[in-house]
Amino acid sequence: MLTRKKGFKDPYFDRFNYENYGGTPVLGINASVIIGHGISNAKAIKNMILLTYKVQKAHISEKIKTALSEIIEH
């Protein structure tokens, strides 16, 4: 991260460090996917796997499908 290369650590900028999240969820009706950064290191990949687990455990795709079905039916 640029802030580390410049020699300082700032909690504000650390919140935006892709390594801390690992990837971005793309939520869908049939399945969700996690998109990772092309230069992801081991920490980012580990956090991407953990994020994938959390997304799957939360049954987000099923909740989206249910919510959309309720909207369409009304």
Run means of pLDDT, 10 residues per run, the chain, 74 residues: 66 84 87 90 95 93 93 88
The Cα–Cα gap between 19 and 56 comes to 20
Predicted pLDDT at 5? 64
Beta strands, E only, 1-74:
23-26, 33-36
Ordered by start, the domain boundaries in the chain are 2-73
Q: How many CA atoms lie within 13 A of 63 on its CB side?
A: 8
Map tokens 């300082």 to a residue: 8
Q: pLDDT per residue over 46-64, tens digit each? A: 999 999 999 999 999 999 9
pTM: 0.72
